[in-house]
Structure 1
């Protein structure tokens, strides 16, 4: 397996790619503040090279996340279009209307269900399927808090649709559990899990469609660059889609890959090899 090429900045790749599909959380913000060098790099790429499509495992429709980016001071000129796991998941949910759906997740994720003609239940007893966006309270709960409730769902063989495949996300200096952690537990218990966000194909299809609309032509996939910090989502998704990937080491795997002297290239290689993944490039933080 080839080693990732270490970059000094995104400018190293000008002329090599036409389109960027960039992860959001962990690359351009940490849930509490944006990273100006990263947003500046994307803004410059967009101005001088081509479209920047933000590809996020946020479980809400992309339009519902724009205000969050604004609040975190992510400049609008740093991205061309935003595609979320929520966008891709809505297609799965609409196909199962009217349900009923047993929904698990915080109130802030309610926009996922708007206009889908679904009915809802608060227990698995009357549900046709489960829809998970994340824990009800990601500050205090873990996936294990749902084991007992999932046992009841398994007796009815309910499929689980997960709107956010991320296992964890970085919030400030903490790692917070996401919907993917609940989905992982349900699958380990023997349940059926269905997902459309990264690393699964549907969200990439939406992103490439948006990029082609912006360019006004068919995309050469060899000229599409993915950027992300998550191995099981960003890197695996790019690998599965045959797309090149720039791994941002300081995100959720930063404790394993960043040392006192900066990026530890050997640690990155070991981390990738342990999961059978490949990164085309690696960088400590996204910069120009």
Structure 2
């Protein structure tokens, strides 16, 4: 059974990545109305008669989401039954399914009735939480199978607070990035890192879209600095732990790539491949942060038992 769970969890994680990237592709190619205002069918037809590229992208995303939904449902049920004795299993099983269904409902509502840009920007963040939950459930299954040891790790209280804060802040920054896409503010600034490198401090001339773009850049830049500081702290305090030192090395690498990709979006005039890779990297980074939150929660529980 554990072997089946491992395969199922890996397939679900990879599938959820395709769902996440597919959603980003729908947004970036403006294919959200590729099937008209019909859901789950396309233009009210099981087999659409008028095939367009937008329809193919939107319908493919729906089909992949449905298939992954079935995998996640099966994974959640089996993990609950087989590993329900492990503290985090039931919560992660529930969250994996709940947020996957929630993002589907928001997508359906956007097709049927339309939504504001501020509401649609939440869609990507919900997808991130769904992917992170499935990813954590996958790690939990491999941990139970004793493929690596994370149970003996203890994270100090002051460092746990930093992990919690960084994870919440990252989700907020992700929202601002999604808002940039949904209000079509991706290319309102011709320069990088400033909106206009020749006049970098002329903030009074910014319009709303430029403020959205530059607000996201500033918020993302703070994450980059924050991760560098955390990396130095972790390397000094947990040099004996491969999970901590290795994990935060990966986190620093991912956020560095993310910053570079953010700049390349401007330099390449919103190249589709670069934009999709940008979405993929932040999904991996956020999921890694969530794993450290999970490990921190175990240390917090250990503190309570020792009081």
Tell me the TM-score normalised to structure 2 length.
Answer: 0.27
- Structure 1 or 2: more helix by fraction: 2
CA radius of gyration, larger in = 2
Greater relative contact order structure (CA < 8 Å, 6+ sep): 1
- Structure 1 or 2: more strand by fraction: 1
Tell me the TM-score normalised to structure 1 length.
Answer: 0.28
